Amino acid sequence: MTASSTPGTAALQNDSFLRACLRQATDHTPVWLMRQAGRYLPEYCATRARAGSFMGLATHPDLATEVTLQPLERYPLDAAILFSDILTVPDAMGLGLSFAAGEGPRFAHPVRDEAAVAALAVPDLNRLRYVFDAVRSIRQALAGRVPLIGFSGSPWTLACYMVEGAGSDDYRLVKSMMYARPDLMHRILQINADAVAGYLNAQIEAGAQAVMVFDSWGGVLADGAFQTFSLAYTARVLAQLQRSHEGRVVPRIVFTKGGGLWLDDMAGLDCEVLGLDWTVNLGRARALLGHCKALQGNIDPNVLFAPPERIEAEVAQVLDRFGRPHQGEGTGPTHIFNLGHGISQYTPPDHVAALVQAVHQHSRRIRLP
């Protein structure tokens, strides 16, 4: 990847998301939704049907571009996020990712013994070219409307799937390896961290204007194990990321689902934004982190099943808990509105419209002097 592969850099028309990431003032609280290009949108389902499968969508840059832009056509969202999966990196390592209908991801070749761990290596990034092509294509299609976020799973979260071979409700296999053979687990995590760093840097080179590390399963770890097996390797990723591209800082977001107990540990991460799930009190998180991190989150996605007037009330509560964000020059506490987890496939699309509108309206209201 070289800088010459950067797409046409149209001036950014809405930079509220990037400004909030950098703890700079904005006239409203920017909002985007995890998994905003997803099955709750009929147009997404139509494109996916044409693609034949989830990976068919993800591996065709034109289709990935189409679905990435779909939610932006419906809602005045303040950021786009690359349509892809958190597990593309282990797939490129040769583990054989697939998505059975109605089920989660599955690896054909899980990593469960010393030989399988020894065989692991940082993958050739050419095997992930479809992702970087999608980033370039999406940037072109966005034409500066809003910034584009790239992402990856965290080293620990990738390891969960790599060892379990699929989702899990007890993480027995991956934790058995961690407790019985910490040496093997550390080797997997080092490789994952270096692979994720290279992967995110290539997304940045291709045009991603911010990057997010999804530590979806960090929260299943015990206190102590989280710091050793998840946080330390997220830090190893962050240390390798390039800080700017196209003359702009590229903000780095870290989201550990279920990580609310470890916010003081995460305060030390070299990143600009921390994502929070709905169990965290935003006011307390601001008191703890507002001096050093922008905060992203954190409404329960199930709020979207309530009628619009209840959604508005819950949105106002989340915004009010954070309180008035930084105003004026310089930097200070800022908030990026999001769900505390991916949007449910059963969400009524018009309820999303109500949420986005409520965020924009109420967040302007709380900025009034």
Q: Which residues bind its own copies (CB under 8 A)?
A: 169-172, 175-176, 179-180, 219, 221-226, 258, 260-261, 278-281, 299-303, 305-307, 310, 314, 317, 340, 344, 346
Closest approach, Cβ 340 to its own copies, in A, equals 7
Task: Give whichever of 56 and 342 is closer to its own copies, judged by the CB atom.
Answer: 342
Closest approach, Cβ 158 to its own copies, in A, equals 19
Q: Give yes or no for a contact between 294 and 273, defined as CB atoms under 8 angstroms apart.
A: yes
Return the axis-axis angle of helices 155-164 and 182-206, rounded to nearest 10°.
Answer: 120
Q: Would you call 15 exposed, middle or buried from its count of C-beta atoms within 10 A (0-12, 13-18, 19+)?
A: buried
Question: Can you read off the two tokens belonging to residue 200?
Answer: 């995110």
Give the number of other CB atoms < 10 A from CB of residue 300. 15
Closest approach, Cβ 353 to its own copies, in A, equals 17
**Amino acid occupying residue 223:** D
Sequence-ordered list of residues with C-beta below 8 angstroms from that of 274, at least 6 positions apart, any chain: 253, 254, 255, 263, 266, 285, 289, 293, 294, 295, 296
Closest approach, Cβ 346 to its own copies, in A, equals 7
Task: Give whichever of 24 and 298 is closer to its own copies, judged by the CB atom.
Answer: 298
Rounded to whole angstroms, how far apart are CA atoms 254 and 64?
23
Catalytic residues: 35, 39, 48, 85, 161
Minimal CA–CA distance to 213: which of 226, 201, 223? 201
Minimal CA–CA distance to 30: which of 46, 18, 42, 13? 18
Phi then psi for residue 195, to 5 deg, are: -65, -45
Task: Give whichever of 332 and 342 is closer to its own copies, judged by the CB atom.
Answer: 342
Task: Give whichever of 219 and 323 is closer to its own copies, judged by the CB atom.
Answer: 219
Closest approach, Cβ 139 to its own copies, in A, equals 33
Task: Give whichever of 73 and 170 is closer to its own copies, judged by the CB atom.
Answer: 170
Closest approach, Cβ 351 to its own copies, in A, equals 11
Task: Give whichever of 81 and 343 is closer to its own copies, judged by the CB atom.
Answer: 343
Phi then psi for residue 170, to 5 deg, are: -130, -10
Distance of CA 155 to the CA centre of its chain: 14
